[in-house]
Amino acid sequence: MVDEIKQKNILLIPVVGQPPTYGMVMAIFAVADEYDEVILCVRDNPMIIPTNTVMMMLGYVFKKPKFIIVSHKADFADICEIPSEIIDDVTHIASLSYHVYINLTSHGYHVRLLPKPFGYNDTFMRTAYQQGFALDMLYQNSKLSDNKNKEGINHAS
């Protein structure tokens, strides 16, 4: 008897909104358990913040190996065909944007439209990111002052 190799169940989610919202995060987590892997493809077209920052923000929330975060110039709301470097090995596509959903569906792709929880899109993850960054800076500064105090260097008040 030949054992069948189980194909990975991989979901592609184009991320078009910037910055990420709590609603987006909650919607993705709501479906993530249905898949072996989730690829978040951030559109490389900075609107409010740089793409690398968006990817870093998402990386704080969505951890490997379950989640893979990539970027691409493709505008999923306008493209006729998903680039092969993105679609390889992908078994499912989902979107949080009805523009992306309509465009890809009209071009023959089977796309799942993910509902976003009502009321959470007004609260941006950017605030949490900025607060986390500020706390990291305070922590680093406190470590520096501890090291200076250990070396016998005192700060004048």
Q: Are 148 and 155 in contact (CB under 8 A)?
A: yes
Q: Give the tens place of pLDDT for each residue, 7-39.
A: 889 999 999 877 788 888 889 999 999 999 999
Q: Are 8 and 89 in contact (CB under 8 A)?
A: yes
Q: Which domains can be identified in the chain, with CATH numbers?
A: 10-123 (3.40.50.620)
Cα angle, residue 79 at apex, residues 76 and 82 outer, rounded to 5°: 75
- Burial class from Cβ neighbours inside 10 Å (0-12, 13-18, 19+) for residue 21 reads buried
Helix or strand run (H / E) with residue 28: helix 22-32
Q: Give the tens place of pLDDT for each residue, 38-85.
A: 999 999 988 778 999 999 999 999 998 999 999 999 999 999 889 888
Closest CA to 93 of 129, 40, 55: 40
Distance of CA 75 to the CA centre of its chain: 16
Q: How far apart are CA 82 and CA 89, in angstroms?
A: 13
